[in-house]
Structure 1
Amino acid sequence: MNNHYDIVIIGTGAGGGTLAHRLAASGKQILLLERGDYLPREPENWDSREVFIKGRYKAPEEWYDKHGKPFHPGAHYWVGGNTKVYGAILFRLRERDFGEVRHHGGISPAWPLSYTDFAPYYTEAERLYHVHGHRGSDPTEPPSNDPYPHPPVSHEPRIQRLSDDLERAGHRPFPLPVGVMLDEADPENSRCVRCTRLDGFPCLVDAKADAHVVAVRPALLHPNVTLVRRAKVERLETDPTGRSVSQVVVERDGERETYSGDIVVVSCGAVNSAALLLRSASDKHPGGLANSSGVVGRHYMAHLNTAMIALSREPNPTRFQKTLGLNDFYWGADDFDFPLGHIQMLGKTDGQMLKAGAPKGTPKPILDYVAKHAIDFWLTTEDLPHPGNRVTVDRAGRIQLSYTDRNTEGHRRLVHKLEQLLPMLGCRERTLPSTVTRDERIPIAGVAHQCGTVRFGDDPTSSALDVNCKAHDLDNLYVVDTSFFPSSSAVNPALTAMANAMRVGDHLLDRLGATTRQTAGAQS
């Protein structure tokens, strides 16, 4: 078997999957290595007990926190990566997010590139991932001459009233940019059925625009693209000079396999990409691969996130709830000169989800009442990079994620702003224990927004990657996922990972002398 390829891509999520789609039509021999398998399409996809209580689709592994205490991360190893269960909210970073931003808790550093460098790729990523929205309705939205590819997803009646109430209170709610294959003008032929299972669930009808469905699947229609599943990459080995990755060492079904590529791309997610580079330490790279700067694994960010359940005075029968956002506090408030963050809707809570977090023995009538009246919010504040928030691996290769909260004052104020608004939004003052409803920070296991561990930059002494996401230390190694982020902003990172994969894809096509580019119009 010839195990050499022009390009080897490790991981099939928002970064790796999108990159494969970008490169597929080039004719170059492309290998995709995915440690998981295809996520099975089965009734349990939409069973909240299976998904949230039993963790049916989560990775069956443990990581360790800064105290050495084990926890089960919310990581999902499937073709398509974490996008198989993401909420498909696809924001561009704000234009100011690419510059230095001063927060109450410290400085969010500037990127080596500007919004202008990413703007055309954002447009293409929105097309590929079927983003619905309304340009200009979000007051913080960066400039664009291109409308969203699809009209905004309509609000159901209770969420429309929520939007109307926010406007009456002087705020500017807007329709969330959602990546779904929905056609409200032609529901008979719409793949999306507007169910309650967008957020946190796999999509049983393949209507969520995840990396598997919209990127990997059409890429595999090209004979030059090969996917190997159940292939966990254990380490990368270099040639004698230490300047090029010469072998990709894989454990697959209990056997060792090796592959090689002219170009090797790591797209495993911010935690696992850093861990792979650290596990690949050698005499030439004693601190880990691509780590002469010492930054690999450092500056881990995952947003300060809170899930809040408000109790509507009237029942909330909404099914597809994730349609409304609020950015009025993104850059600050009248009583606070620093950024607070972003508010959006969560998927609709049901009794099983509540039961998962409620004290044992909570009466079923209480859970049923809360589920019937719940309006679910997701609040996000920018997480600031700090070298002490880091990924490390021990001699056995086990992952430790050391993390300490920072920038908490802005997040506390954002939560308080929403709490103050609730009475004006037709919601009851809290009458049930907070353990039954929710107003809680997402813990360290919530790694959905992970980023920052292999940052890019102009200076090889303070960054691991150059502006094309190539390792400063190696000639043929790239990292193409959210690891490259120097800062996290306060919006979902997925679209930036997708846009960057397209940007790096064009660089690789130029480097390899390919003349044909896969465009977003040639999807599925």
Structure 2
Amino acid sequence: MIVDDQYYDVIIVGTGAGGGTLARKLAPTGKKILILERGVFPLRESSEAQDIELFKKETFHAPEQWYDENGEPFRPQTSYCVGGNTKIYSGVLMRMRDRDFETVQHQDGISPAWGLKYSDFEPYYTEAEKLYQVHGKLGDDPTEPAHSEDYSFPPVEHESHIQTVVDGLSKQDIHPAYLPIGLGDQGRTDAEDTGITPALKYENVTLKTSAHVVCLHTNPSGTAIKAVQAKIGDQSYLFLGDIVVLSCGAINSAALLLRSQNEKHPNGIANSSDQVGRNLMKQQLSVVVQLTTDPNSALFQRTVSVNDFYWGDKHYHYPMGHVQNAGGILRDVIFTEAPPVFSAISRLLPSVGIRQLATRSLGWWLQTEDLPNPNNRIRFVGDKLHIDFTQSNVEAHDRLVYRWIDTLKQVESLHPGMFNRVSHPRSDMPVQVVAHQCGTCRFGEDPKTSVLDLNCRAHEVDNLYVVDSSFFPSNSSISPALTVIANALRVGEHLIERLK
């Protein structure tokens, strides 16, 4: 074991939306900051990943095995590289609705209230939107919460096929809205170009890649983290620091805490409440495909969202969820890694090649909130990581799918020559697709029912923080990315005061 000869004020583990943003926030303080990243710099931007063969090669699947609740192994679709999952995300950066922070009744149960409210996050949402260059437009979405400032960048215009659908939706008294999306000079903004790269311009910031953190070590009393153990190549290193921040993703942050058990923390660090690893949430994610008679480029951005069914409708008085277009299929990395979508279309049109199908398809993502369940959890059997997960709100999601397909049919009836209306294939994302994972280290004021306090500091460990989506007590029906970024900025402000 090699003990690093440097001592750091802050050690950040992970470079995704939380860790990368926090590094950018703390870099100007002059404090000595170490960033540890399991992966390396990616070879190319996600927006350049236009090879339809990606899904066959499992390019963005982690080089390890996890196990489902039946003990079956799988390779998770998650990204270990500088920038984390923001290197393969869609770039959609949407605020949670103000009601998402309150107690919400769903058909399958309660979505619990947060210890903080929308007003507590609002200034950090604004800061995050400026930092990640979010393009958007206010006033079209009836569920949009109040903004203290307008978007700094104009919305991205719709591709012609999407514009046709948008016009048809408006005729049905539906409210299509421009999708807020982070875009810079190089394409989608992410935690590498917006967080890590600017942070590394400061001499006080050090990044070590290929550094797989395997254990946290506490002081003898168990009240503080004294060292972070990482494997770099074939050698183990110990890094010492005053404050340790985890941003490994909801699954891996919880797994690291569980693996780091010791005499003072026999069930895992910060886990006397037995809440670490529990309440894993992962939205129900489905894709519905429209087939068109004429081709599109298959390279356009996502641009439109529909939240008319977010809180339900006159036929169903429980929340259903969020709809957005999938963007050009050749540009959407996660979409291209979803073989069920293409196999569904291929069964309908077996004589047409996959690339041609991609240019004659419009995809729609449908997202429904998953409720916290303590039995949905991360656990270890020996050294094997198991994911126990059962979805909730299944009927609500099915209703959203059927309602959306009916809505698309109404649009298509206005343009019978433009759409192939033979079917609308649907594909549901399995547990292996860990997009939008959250929970596992929820924050709250009661140490008996939460892992972190409202500043995302572990109740039991004074210098340990978690800034990925682990802290979510509920997960809404939209992407957690912007809320993770805003929270990292909020926690960063707290840490700046503490570091003084």
The bucket for the TM-score relative to the shorter chain is over 0.9
The CA distance in 1 between the partners of 2:452 and 2:197, in whole Å, is: 29
Residues 1:83 and 1:42: Cα distance change in structure 2 (over 3 Å): closer
Match of 1:15 among 3, 15, 18: 18
The CA distance in 2 between the partners of 1:38 and 1:375, in whole Å, is: 32
The CA distance in 2 between the partners of 1:16 and 1:121, in whole Å, is: 16
The answer on 1:447 being equivalent to 2:450 is: no
Alignment match, 2:415: none
1:145 CA displacement: 2.3
Match of 2:88 among 85, 89, 109: 85
Structure 1: gaps of 5 or more residues: 182-190, 192-205, 514-524
The CA distance in 2 between the partners of 1:382 and 1:44, in whole Å, is: 27
Q: Could you give the per-residue CA deviations for residues 185-225 of structure 1, whole angstroms, max 9, x where no partner exists? A: xxxxxx3xxxxxxxxxxxxxx32200000110000000000
1:440 CA displacement: 1.7
1:315 CA displacement: 3.9
Any idea what SS the aligned residue of 1:276 has?
Answer: helix
Alignment match, 2:157: 154
Any idea what SS the aligned residue of 1:134 has?
Answer: coil
Alignment match, 1:268: 248
Identity %: 47
Q: Could you give the per-residue CA deviations for residues 377-427 of structure 1, whole angstroms, max 9, x where no partner exists? A: 00000010000000112322x211110111111101000111111222227
Residues 1:471 and 1:132: Cα distance change in structure 2 (over 3 Å): same
The answer on 1:477 being equivalent to 2:477 is: no
1:365 CA displacement: 2.1
Residues 1:366 and 1:248: Cα distance change in structure 2 (over 3 Å): closer
Alignment match, 1:70: 73
Match of 1:255 among 230, 235, 239: 235
Any idea what SS the aligned residue of 1:300 has?
Answer: strand
TM-score of the two chains, using structure 2 as the length reference: 0.93
1:348 CA displacement: 1.9
1:158 CA displacement: 1.3
The answer on 1:322 being equivalent to 2:302 is: yes
The CA distance in 1 between the partners of 2:82 and 2:459, in whole Å, is: 29
1:247 CA displacement: 1.0
Does the 8 Å CA contact 1:456/1:484 hold for their aligned counterparts? yes
Does the 8 Å CA contact 2:298/2:330 hold for their aligned counterparts? no
Match of 1:107 among 103, 110, 121: 110
Does the 8 Å CA contact 2:38/2:209 hold for their aligned counterparts? yes
Does the 8 Å CA contact 2:367/2:477 hold for their aligned counterparts? yes
1:451 CA displacement: 0.2
Alignment match, 1:419: 405
Alignment match, 1:196: none
Residues 1:158 and 1:294: Cα distance change in structure 2 (over 3 Å): same
Residues 1:323 and 1:511: Cα distance change in structure 2 (over 3 Å): same
1:308 CA displacement: 1.1
Structure 2: gaps of 5 or more residues: 413-417
The CA distance in 1 between the partners of 2:192 and 2:453, in whole Å, is: 28
Residues 1:487 and 1:43: Cα distance change in structure 2 (over 3 Å): closer
The number of residues matched between the two structures is 485
Q: Could you give the per-residue CA deviations for residues 15-55 of structure 1, whole angstroms, max 9, x where no partner exists? A: 00000000000000000000000011389952424532202
Does the 8 Å CA contact 2:377/2:389 hold for their aligned counterparts? yes
1:506 CA displacement: 0.5
Any idea what SS the aligned residue of 2:5 has?
Answer: coil
Match of 2:44 among 28, 34, 41: 41
Does the 8 Å CA contact 2:38/2:80 hold for their aligned counterparts? yes
Residues 1:442 and 1:359: Cα distance change in structure 2 (over 3 Å): closer
The CA distance in 1 between the partners of 2:405 and 2:466, in whole Å, is: 40
Q: Which has the higher strand share?
A: 2
Match of 1:216 among 185, 190, 196: 196
Any idea what SS the aligned residue of 1:15 has?
Answer: helix
The answer on 1:385 being equivalent to 2:376 is: no
The CA distance in 1 between the partners of 2:236 and 2:353, in whole Å, is: 53
Does the 8 Å CA contact 1:59/1:74 hold for their aligned counterparts? yes
- Range with greater deviation from structure 2 (364-373 or 353-362): 353-362
Alignment match, 1:198: none
Alignment match, 2:271: 291
The answer on 1:431 being equivalent to 2:422 is: yes
Does the 8 Å CA contact 1:44/1:51 hold for their aligned counterparts? no
The CA distance in 2 between the partners of 1:88 and 1:42, in whole Å, is: 12
1:314 CA displacement: 4.5
The CA distance in 1 between the partners of 2:37 and 2:392, in whole Å, is: 34
Any idea what SS the aligned residue of 1:2 has?
Answer: strand
1:305 CA displacement: 0.8
The answer on 1:488 being equivalent to 2:480 is: no
The CA distance in 1 between the partners of 2:180 and 2:47, in whole Å, is: 27
The answer on 1:399 being equivalent to 2:418 is: no
The CA distance in 2 between the partners of 1:21 and 1:276, in whole Å, is: 24
Alignment match, 2:448: 461
The CA distance in 2 between the partners of 1:95 and 1:139, in whole Å, is: 12
1:367 CA displacement: 4.3
Any idea what SS the aligned residue of 1:57 has?
Answer: coil
The CA distance in 2 between the partners of 1:483 and 1:94, in whole Å, is: 19
Alignment match, 1:509: 496
TM-score of the two chains, using structure 1 as the length reference: 0.89
1:2 CA displacement: 2.2
Does the 8 Å CA contact 2:286/2:366 hold for their aligned counterparts? yes
Match of 1:374 among 336, 343, 361: 361
Taking only aligned residues, the RMSD between alpha carbons, in angstroms, comes to 2.1
Give the letter aligned to residue 332 of structure 1.
G
Match of 2:313 among 333, 340, 346: 333
Residues 1:7 and 1:50: Cα distance change in structure 2 (over 3 Å): farther
Alignment match, 1:195: none
- Range with greater deviation from structure 2 (341-350 or 232-241): 341-350
Any idea what SS the aligned residue of 1:271 has?
Answer: helix
Give the letter aligned to residue 312 of structure 1.
T
The CA distance in 2 between the partners of 1:214 and 1:438, in whole Å, is: 36
Give the letter aligned to residue 256 of structure 2.
L
1:120 CA displacement: 0.3
Residues 1:277 and 1:29: Cα distance change in structure 2 (over 3 Å): same
Any idea what SS the aligned residue of 1:451 has?
Answer: strand
Any idea what SS the aligned residue of 2:324 has?
Answer: strand
Match of 1:309 among 274, 289, 303: 289
The CA distance in 2 between the partners of 1:42 and 1:335, in whole Å, is: 43
Does the 8 Å CA contact 2:67/2:386 hold for their aligned counterparts? yes
Give the letter aligned to residue 213 of structure 2.
V
- Range with greater deviation from structure 2 (19-28 or 42-51): 42-51
The CA distance in 1 between the partners of 2:492 and 2:19, in whole Å, is: 10
The CA distance in 1 between the partners of 2:242 and 2:338, in whole Å, is: 51
